[in-house]
């Protein structure tokens, strides 16, 4: 593959031209996800760690990059002639090239267990949250506790499990944590099945918008009726983020 990177912020603190030169000639062995990171594993043992942040997206262009796009930050030309364009309106996304052996130590301090992993139990969650006085919503957003739950899915999970977002994490008992875990998995599976939520201009790799946002139960629905009890959804803040919940059925 051949790589061009046109944005100094994408590879900071590394030089984008240098990173592009390092990537050129690599052969992709596998694609994986850990938490919110996309992992591109190369046959050399190196790994490119991509974080899309708010507005990053990858677009597959089978006939090359014909369309002019002011938000394109990088282009990967594959040996089969197709291009993968990386576009990012707000430029918070990052690309980090790691040498063999660097991945596990890098992720260990940043990414907790995968919540979709069946082995992750309510018991394990209780051990983590029992000393945390912070609101459960803030703890859910901490990627070192739970990997892969962002602001939208935290609100949705709390709605499904009928737990108030501002409850101190340590106050949740085992059955409630069990419900919460079920809620998180339900919210994430819903999202994955519908190709994610489209906020502003996010597009999937096929260029189409996701449809998840039409099915939110709590997130972004201030003033609209709760689909379970009819009470208007309210908005507050938790963990520094906008937080939506039903004041009647989330306790």
3-state helix, strand, coil in the chain (%, to 5): 25, 25, 50
**45 torsion bin: left (phi>0), alpha (psi -120 to 50), beta (else):** left
- Told to check if 163 binds Zn ion by CB under 5 A, we report no
CB of 181 to Zn ion, least distance (A): 21
CB of 241 to Zn ion, least distance (A): 21
End-to-end CA distance of the chain: 53
- Told to check if 203 binds Zn ion by CB under 5 A, we report no
For Zn ion, which is the closer residue by CB, 192 or 251? 251
For Zn ion, which is the closer residue by CB, 5 or 226? 226
* Residues 221-250, interacting with Zn ion (CB under 5 A): 226, 228-229, 231, 246, 248-249
Stretch that binds Zn ion, among 63-71, 137-145, 207-215, 220-228 (CB under 5 A): 220-228
CB of 165 to Zn ion, least distance (A): 13
Stretch that binds Zn ion, among 70-78, 134-142, 167-175, 218-226 (CB under 5 A): 218-226
For Zn ion, which is the closer residue by CB, 211 or 231? 231
The answer to whether 226 and 232 are in contact (CB under 8 A) is yes
CB of 237 to Zn ion, least distance (A): 20
For Zn ion, which is the closer residue by CB, 168 or 247? 247
For Zn ion, which is the closer residue by CB, 146 or 244? 244
CB of 246 to Zn ion, least distance (A): 3
Cα torsion at 158, 162, 167, 171 (round to 10°)?
-110
For Zn ion, which is the closer residue by CB, 207 or 225? 225
| 100-127 CB burial, b ≥16 within 10 A, e <16 | eeebeeebeeebbbebeeeebebeebbe
CB of 51 to Zn ion, least distance (A): 34
CB of 244 to Zn ion, least distance (A): 12
How are beta strands 28-34 and 241-245 bridged, if at all? unpaired
Q: Provide the edge-to-edge strand list for the sheet that holds 28-34.
A: 28-34, 37-42, 47-51, 94-98
Of 192, 107, 114, the C-alpha closest to 153 is 192
For Zn ion, which is the closer residue by CB, 5 or 180? 180
The answer to whether 113 and 123 are in contact (CB under 8 A) is no
- Structure tokens, 183: 């809620």
Q: How many residues bind Zn ion (CB under 5 A)?
A: 7
- In order of 8, 55, 76, 186, 229, the CA distances from 94 in angstroms are 10, 11, 15, 28, 42
Binding site for Zn ion (CB under 5 A): 226, 228-229, 231, 246, 248-249
């Amino acid at each position: 593959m051949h790589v061009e990177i046109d944005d100094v912020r994408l590879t900071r603190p590394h030089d984008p031209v240098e990173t592009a030169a390092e990537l050129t000639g690599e052969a992709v062995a596998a694609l994986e996800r850990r938490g919110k990171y996309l992992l591109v594993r190369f046959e050399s043992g190196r790994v490119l760690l991509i974080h899309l942040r708010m507005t990053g997206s990858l677009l597959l262009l089978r006939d090359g990059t014909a369309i002019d796009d002011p938000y394109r930050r990088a282009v990967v030309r594959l040996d089969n002639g197709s291009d993968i364009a990386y576009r990012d309106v707000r430029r918070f996304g990052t690309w980090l090239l790691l040498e063999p052996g660097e991945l596990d130590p890098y992720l260990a301090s940043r990414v907790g267990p995968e919540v979709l992993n069946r082995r992750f139990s309510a018991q394990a969650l209780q051990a983590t949250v029992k000393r945390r006085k912070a609101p459960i919503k803030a703890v859910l957003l901490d990627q070192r506790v739970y990997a892969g739950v962002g602001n939208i899915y935290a609100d949705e999970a709390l709605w499904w499990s009928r737990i108030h977002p501002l409850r101190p994490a340590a106050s949740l008992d085992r059955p409630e944590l069990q419900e919460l875990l079920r809620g998180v998995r339900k919210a994430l599976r819903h999202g994955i099945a519908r190709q994610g939520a489209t906020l502003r201009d996010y597009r999937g790799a096929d260029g189409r918008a996701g449809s998840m946002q039409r099915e939110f139960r709590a997130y972004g629905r201030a003033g609209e009726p709760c689909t379970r009890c009819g009470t208007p959804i309210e908005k507050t803040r938790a963990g520094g983020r906008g937080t939506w919940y039903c004041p009647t059925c989330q306790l």
